[in-house]
Each structure stands twice: as structure tokens, then as C-alpha cells.
Amino acid sequence: MKKGFWRPISIFALLLVLMACGDTYYYEPVQEYIPAETVTEYVPAREGQGQQEIQSDYYPQIAEPEQIELPAHYADIFSSGRTRGEYLEDLDYLYDTLAANFPFFGVIYRSLGVDMHALYQGARQYIETRRDIYSDQQFADIIDRRFISHARGTGHFNMLSGDFLRLHLQVFSNQIALGSNQFIYFLDELDNPATRAFHGLTDADFQPPPPGEESFVFATTSDNIETRILEPGRIAYVNILQMNHATMELDNEKLQNFYRYIAGFDHLIVDIRQNGGGDSRFFPALVMAPNIAEPLDYHFYMLLMEGEHNRRLLAPWFERWWDGLTPYPVFEPIHDDLLDRLTHLNADDAVQLDSYWTWRSAIRPTHYGRPLFGGKIWLLTSSANFSASEQAAAIAKQTGFATLVGETTGGDGIGINPLVVALPNTGVVVRYSSVYGTDPLGRNNQEFGTDPHFFNRPRRNALQTTLELISEGNY
């Protein structure tokens, strides 16, 4: 394996959950011959399938917190050793940061019927009247249960703790070691006494690997890829469970050998219905690049609120500087010509947004003019697709790489690394997507996801629908 193959930094990629050419052409796939006519898995069809209507009839106003008379026990010291004021200050800090930097309050309301401003006020009142808070962890649970969790992860908005937080620290330190000094801002946000104390972090958690090296431990085995032959010589199938950074080298070898084995087949069905995301380099590098003859161009738009927190953590995206050979995108002020092009941009959201960047990129073939598999590619999607797997669906559809079958995806695949916020007193860490990603018409990717070319047929799942389309020649 050639780990150096994966070293170039994809600064535009989402490395959230957080790769190698096999030398042999021999491949022995799982001998699991499943005739198309015997596939028996059924799922109900989605209701209301088709293009979602854009709604902008209501947008919750982000008002200043109401001035209320504080109770006499405002400065009481809780069992945790903190005052009521310290906990309220942390909640206010979180909300104020979101109101100035997080562009998804309107999306959350339209998608979930949840008014985040009202929830914040309710959580604040709860803390103001709470008899006791026993620990900082209990405070974290309160704001998560009464405020954060109601967003249901929209815009990657959730609390970071435990191994998940340490994984983010590892990602940031690795990027710094590989030359992306922009991630110093992310580590600086987390490297403070309160966060260290609350999460039990030590110097070792912030220590990057030696320059030019990665501290990731690559897996030695992988069950991430399932391959089948559905019809000998004609229809092949691969299921990708996760876009897992740790297994990319092994998965790449297995996939490339499988592509060579099925080179003469007519159809390849790629199933990502169970895939919730991961490393956004996975799909372009392991699925698209080996199977295209010429570069495939695509573009999306990323819009941003210029709050202080966004400006501080994303300074390179505003300052026209770069590390080595990796240029950073540069956010520019939104102008009328752009708004004229983004005909489906929600008007209420647009008034909050200040800057934009046009993400233009291309998937370049591993072997120019010689794709390993040159037949028809189908991509099975579901509402579980999020982040990197949603991005895969969006790129595959826009470039025409694959025909999508299944359900509208879950969204939030067009963006950059979610930002982190450390609360000043407790050290609780929250993350959020700063970028409001849209398709070329301005439809927000988090709100609308990516529609398939063919929705599931009645009483058929995506695989069954695809097999019927193939048998009918409807492609």
C-alpha cells in the first residue's frame, strides 16, 4: 500500500467522522449469486415523493433576549461550585454565537417546526428557576436536552464529547502536521483550561504527529465493503457501509480489484443507503476516479454569515493567503448578480448571509481514457445519507456519473469542516456548520438534500426498483 497517495490535503472536503493502489489484478469476489428475480426485500414507498416546495412564509426572528428581572437567588452557588450567572452566561454565549454565525435557524423551523429562539428562552428560564445544578455535566445535559438536541443534527449542530471530541482533535492536529495551518484556529478554540478540565484533556491530546506524518491508525481488516454478482456477466453490486478514513486503503484495494473483475459487465449498482457519511474524499477517490475516462466538473455555492466566530476560525477564507500549494477559497461579499442566479434561494435566509464562495472542482480519472469499469453505474440513496455520503450523491448527480435511485438524501453535504465553540465557563464544546451550501439554483442542501432520478416504486425498495429499470431498459 502506498499511504503517500492519500497525503494531499483536500481543503474543501468535510473530514467529519473521522486510500492506495493494489498491485495485483486478481480478485475473487464473494460468491453470492443472487438472481434479480429472487430479490425479495420490500420497504414502503416514501409519501410525497418528488420535488419539495420551497417555503418562506415564516422565519423566526432572532431577537435580543428579553430583559427580565433576575430572581434574588441569581448569584447562588450551586452544588457544582458555579453560580447561576456562570451557567446563564455559557448558555447566552452559545446562543449569541449561533445567532450571528449559524445560518440554519430558518431551515430548522421549516423542516422540523422547531423555533430555536423560543427553545433558548425556555432553557434560560429553566436555569434561572432551577434549585440546584450538581455538576457541569448536568448543565451540559440540560442545554442539550432543552435546546441543542431539538435541532436533530441539522447543520451538524450537536455537542462534542468523549472519543468524538478526541477524534476531532486528531483530525485538526493531523491537518496541521500535513501543512494546513488553518486548523490551528480550531485547536486554539479548544485548548483552554475550562475545556481541558471538563473533558479531561492533556497535552497529548493536542500534540500533532511529526511534520509530514499522520497519527491515524489505518485498519488491518475491513468489512466495510460488500460485493455481489446479481447476474453473471451483466449486473454487479457493491454496498459501502461507511466512508471510513481508517479503512480507505483496504477498501480501495478491494474495490479496484472488483472493478477489474466486472470490467465487462453492463451494470454496477453502488448502494450507500446505510451510509451516514465520513471522509468526503472516499467516494470521489474510490468510486468515481477509477471509473471515468475524463475529468468531471461540478460546482456548488457556499454562503456564510460573517459573525465574529466565523471570521476568527475561518480567517484564511477571507485573507487570501495559503499554505504551500494548497489555496484556500476566498469568501466575497454577496452581490445582486449572484442573487439573480440563485433563483431558488430562500429569501428569508438570504437576508442573514453576507459572503459566498463558488466551489468549483473536478473529479480526475485515475487512468485517463481507461476506466476500470465502463458500464452503467447506478447509485442507491436514502434519507440516511448525510454529510459525506450526501455530498457523494450531489456530485454523482450533477456530473452525470451515476443514475440515482431511492429516496431524497438527508443533506448537509455541501460545506467545509464544522466549526467548534467552547463555552467560556464550563468548557462544554459544541459544533456547527458555518456554511449554507446550495446547488447551482440556490436550493439549500441541508433543507432539500439531493433527489434521485427515480424514486422507489410502490412497494419496492431502491435495489428492486433499479433491477426493474434495468430489465425494462428504462435508463
Profile the chain (475 residues) by mean pLDDT over runs of 10 residues: 40 36 29 34 33 38 50 75 96 98 97 97 96 96 98 95 91 80 88 97 84 62 94 98 91 96 97 93 96 96 96 80 55 93 96 94 92 97 94 96 97 90 98 96 96 97 98 89
Q: What is the pLDDT of residue 45?
A: 33
- Could you tell me where the beta strands, DSSP code E, fall in 130-188? 158-160
Q: What is the pLDDT of residue 215?
A: 56
**Can you list the domains of the chain with their CATH numbers?**
217-456 (3.90.226.10)
CB 331 within 8 A of CB 317: yes
| pTM to 2 decimal places | 0.79
Q: Answer positive or negative: Cα dihedral of 455, 457, 459, 464.
A: negative
Q: Answer positive or negative: Cα dihedral of 154, 439, 167, 99.
A: negative
Distance CA 95, CA 236 (A): 49
Distance CA 68, CA 470 (A): 65
Phi/psi of residue 189, nearest 5 degrees: -65, -30
Q: Cell 428492486 identifies what position?
A: 464
Q: Cell 434519507 identifies what position?
A: 383
Burial class (CB in 10 A: 0-12, 13-18, 19+), 211: exposed
Q: What is the pLDDT of residue 439?
A: 95
Q: Cell 511529526 identifies what position?
A: 210
Q: What is the pLDDT of residue 191?
A: 95
Q: What is the largest CA-CA distance in the chain?
A: 79
Q: What is the pLDDT of residue 67?
A: 52
